[in-house]
Amino acid sequence: MSARRATIADVAREAGVAASTASVVFSGKTPVSAPTRERVLAAAAALGYTGPDPRAASLRRGRSGIVGVVFRDRLGTAFLDPVTTVMMDGLADAVADVGAGLLLLRDDDGAEPSLNAAPVDAVVLIGCSVGMRDSLDVVRARGLPVVVIEGDAGDGVPQVRLDNREGQAFIAGHLRDLGHREVVAVTLPAGPRRHAGWLRDPAAISVDVTRDRLAGMHDVFPAARAYATMGSLVDEGYAAGRAILATHPRPTAIMAQSDLLAIGVLRAVVDAGLRVPEDLSVTGFDGIAADGIAPRVLTTMVQPAAEKGRAAGAAITAMLAGAQAPTIRLTSTFRRGDTTGPPAG
Amino acid sequence: MSARRATIADVAREAGVAASTASVVFSGKTPVSAPTRERVLAAAAALGYTGPDPRAASLRRGRSGIVGVVFRDRLGTAFLDPVTTVMMDGLADAVADVGAGLLLLRDDDGAEPSLNAAPVDAVVLIGCSVGMRDSLDVVRARGLPVVVIEGDAGDGVPQVRLDNREGQAFIAGHLRDLGHREVVAVTLPAGPRRHAGWLRDPAAISVDVTRDRLAGMHDVFPAARAYATMGSLVDEGYAAGRAILATHPRPTAIMAQSDLLAIGVLRAVVDAGLRVPEDLSVTGFDGIAADGIAPRVLTTMVQPAAEKGRAAGAAITAMLAGAQAPTIRLTSTFRRGDTTGPPAG
DNA sequence: TTGTACGCGTTATCAA
DNA sequence: TTGATAACGCGTACAA
Enumerate the residues of chain B whose CB falls inside 8 A of the CB of residue A88.
75-76, 79
| Cα–Cα distance list, A284 to A108, A287, A318, B5 (Å) | 30, 8, 34, 48
pLDDT at B112: 72
Ranges assigned E (strand) in B189-270: 197-198, 225-228, 253-256
Positions of chain C reached by protein Cβ under 7 A: 1-13
Alpha-carbon gap, residue A180 to A251, rounded angstroms: 9
Packing angle between helix B8-15 and helix B34-47, nearest 10 degrees?
A: 120
pLDDT of amino acid A80 = 82
Instruction: Determine contact, residues A162/A330, Cβ cutoff 8 Å.
Output: yes
In this complex, the residue of A101, A112, A114 whose CB is nearest that of residue B113 is A101
Cα(B101)–Cα(B79) distance, integer angstroms: 18
B165, B171, B173, B177 alpha-carbon torsion, rounded to 10°:
180
**Cβ pair B294:A64 closer than 8 A:** no
- Residues B278 and A52: their CA atoms lie apart, in Å, by 63
Q: What is the pLDDT along chain A (345 residues), one digit of tens a residue?
A: 445 789 999 999 999 999 999 999 999 888 889 999 999 999 999 999 999 999 999 999 999 999 999 988 888 888 888 899 999 999 999 999 888 999 999 877 666 668 889 999 999 998 756 667 788 888 989 999 999 999 888 878 899 999 999 999 999 999 999 999 999 999 999 987 778 999 999 999 988 899 999 999 999 999 999 999 999 988 899 999 999 999 989 999 999 999 999 999 999 999 999 999 999 999 999 998 666 676 789 999 999 999 999 999 999 999 999 898 999 999 999 999 999 999 987
- First vs last Cα of chain A: how many Å apart? 84
pTM over 0.95, yes/no:
no
**Structural contact between residues B183 and B223, judged by C-beta atoms closer than 8 angstroms:** no
How far does Cα B204 stand from its chain's mean position?
Answer: 23
Where on strand D do bases come within 7 A of a protein Cβ?
Answer: 1-13
One pLDDT digit (tens) per residue for chain B, 345 residues: 445 789 999 999 999 999 999 999 999 889 999 999 999 999 999 999 999 999 999 999 999 999 999 998 888 888 888 899 999 999 999 998 888 999 999 877 777 778 889 999 999 999 766 667 888 888 999 999 999 999 888 878 999 999 999 999 999 999 999 999 999 999 999 987 778 999 999 999 988 999 999 999 999 999 999 999 999 988 899 999 999 999 999 999 999 999 999 999 999 999 899 999 999 999 999 998 666 676 789 999 999 999 999 999 999 999 999 898 999 999 999 999 999 999 987
> How much is the pLDDT for A2?
44
Q: Report CA(A20)–C1'(D11) in Å, whole number.
A: 8
pLDDT (0 to 100) of residue B97: 86
Side by side, the strands of the sheet bearing A101-106 are A328-330, A159-162, A146-149, A122-126, A66-71, A101-106, B101-106, B66-71, B122-126, B146-149, B159-162, B328-330
pLDDT tens readout for residues B319-336: 999 898 999 999 999 999
Residue B269 CB contacts under 8 Å (≥ 6 apart), including other chains: B241, B245, B254, B276, B279, B280, B282
Q: Kindly provide the residue ranges of all beta strands, DSSP E only, lying in chain B, ordered along the sequence.
A: 66-71, 101-106, 122-126, 146-149, 159-162, 183-187, 197-198, 225-228, 253-256, 281-283, 300-302, 328-330, 333-335
B203-261 pLDDT, tens digit per residue, is 999 889 999 999 999 999 999 999 999 999 888 999 999 999 999 999 999 999 999 99
Say if the Cβ atoms of B82 and A80 lie within 8 Å.
yes
Residues of B150-167 as b/e, b for ≥16 C-beta within 10 angstroms?
bbebeeebbbbbbbbbbb
Looking at residue B131, its pLDDT comes to: 67
B253 touches chain A (CB under 8 A): no
* Residue of least CA–C1' distance to D5: B20
Q: What is the reported pLDDT for B291?
A: 65
Measure the CA–CA gap between A64 and A84, rounded to whole angstroms.
25
Is residue B328 within 8 A of residue B160, CB to CB? The reply is yes
A196-220: per-residue pLDDT in tens?
999 999 999 988 899 999 999 999 9
Residue-level pLDDT at A191: 83
Q: So what's the pLDDT on residue B191?
A: 84
Residue B29 CA, nucleotide C7 C1', distance (Å): 26
Beta bridge partners of B325: none
In the chain, the amino acid numbered B291 is D
Residue B229 carries which side chain, given as an amino acid letter? Answer: T
Chain-chain contact of B103 with A64 (C-beta, under 8 angstroms): no
Sheet containing strand A253-256, edge to edge, reads A197-198, A225-228, A183-187, A253-256, A281-283
At residue B275, what are phi and psi to the nearest 5 degrees? -100, 145
Taking every pair of C-alpha atoms in chain B, what is the biggest distance, in angstroms?
Answer: 91
Residue B291 has its nearest CB partner, among A76, A113, A235, at A235
Distance between CA atoms of residues B230 and B160, nearest Å: 24
Mode of pairing for the β-strands spanning B328-330 and B300-302: unpaired
Looking at residue A77, its pLDDT comes to 83
Q: First CA to last CA across chain B, in angstroms?
A: 83
The predicted structure's pLDDT at residue B2: 45
Closest residue of chain A to B309, computed from CA coordinates: A76
Position A108 scores a pLDDT of: 72
Q: Name the A residues in 92-151 with CB < 8 Å from any B CB.
A: 92, 96-106, 111-114, 116-120, 138, 141-143
- Dist. CA B83–CA B91, nearest whole Å: 12
Amino acid A146 CA to nucleotide C12 C1' distance, rounded Å: 34
Q: With helix as H, strand as E and coil as C, how does chain A read?
A: CCCCCCCHHHHHHHHCCCHHHHHHHHHCCCCCCHHHHHHHHHHHHHHCCCCCCHHHHHHHHCCCCEEEEEECCCHHHHCCCHHHHHHHHHHHHHHHCCCCEEEEEECCCCCCCCHHHCCCCEEEEECCCHHHHHHHHHHHHCCCCEEEECCCCCCCCCEEEECHHHHHHHHHHHHHHHCCCCEEEEECCCCCCCCCEECCCHHHCCCHHHHHHHHHHHHHCCCCEEEECCCCCHHHHHHHHHHHHCCCCCCCEEEECCHHHHHHHHHHHHHCCCCCCCCCEEECCECCCCCCCCCCCCEEEECCHHHHHHHHHHHHHHHHCCCCCCCEEECCEEECCCCCCCCCC
Which residues have CB under 7 A from strand D?
Answer: A 4-5, 7-9, 19-20, 23-24, 26-27, 29, 52-53, 56-57, 59-61; B 16-21, 24, 30-33, 35-37, 56, 59-60, 62
Please tell me the distance from the alpha carbon of residue B28 to that of residue B11, in angstroms, as a whole number: 16
